[in-house]
Amino acid sequence: MLSSEVTETGVHLITLERPKVNALCVELLETLASTAAEIARDSPRAVVLTGGPRVFAAGADITEFTRHGGSGPFALAGDAEVSRIGRAFLEGLGAVAAIPCPTIAAVNGFALGGGCELALACDLRVASSSAQLGQPEILLGIIPGGGGTQRLARLVGPARAKDLVFSGRNVGADEALRIGLVDRVCDGDATEAALEWAEGFANGPRSAIALAKRAVDGGLEGSLEDGLALEQELFVESFTTRDAEVGVASFLESGPGHARFDR
């Protein structure tokens, strides 16, 4: 359902591989959670998450929301089953968000519903010029359940998030870039662009970047005062790392931008 490899440049590449459109079923989400947790234990430098050259992920596997897998007689799944699916999204996407290094979603084609939410769980997003993103759950009479009302609002602001969620409309790559839903748009394969971007992070100070990610993500969970206190705590911690020794010594010897951090 997915593959995971480490490139020659030290970037972990996760590729969704569920025909035909990488629909996010519970099994795939559970595999994603275990893969992300394994990568997190491997002291990663950077991660790229892609669905391949044609589609990122077209959304949740809607057949799992029915009692008979989409075949008759039709009936919606019960509360317990819907809760099980919701937990799979929460744990799978949460595991991606918790990877302690820069994570980049490479969006080719559609990233809709749960697919868009998976992209939102990454730190950064690169989209091909033909990409389409959106939260169409409202068109099924339901609401997003994998972060579409929370991560999306934090990323693009509550008004824009409400527009996308209330309407269920798709946005193209250019609009997604304009509103901050994606960070870069490329003309070719988004995976190649994401790997190139990730390589720069992989060459950086691994410990310092991980601490910076903790500061940003943790600070958003509380008040500004709480965030500033967390920043100070992690600022002090950063001076206990090998990265700080290398970086400060290099600055004093050669000026900024010349440090070569340990691989």
Q: Which residues are catalytic?
A: 117, 137
Q: How far apart are CA 162 and CA 231, in angstroms?
A: 31
Phi/psi for 66 (5° steps) reads -120, 160
Q: How far apart are CA 24 and CA 235, in angstroms?
A: 38
What separation in angstroms does the CA of 261 have from each of 32, 77, 197, 236, 246?
A: 30, 52, 17, 19, 6
Contact 83, 90 (CB under 8 A): no
The residues pairing with 186 across neighbouring beta strands, listed in sequence order, are: 128
Contact 101, 206 (CB under 8 A): yes
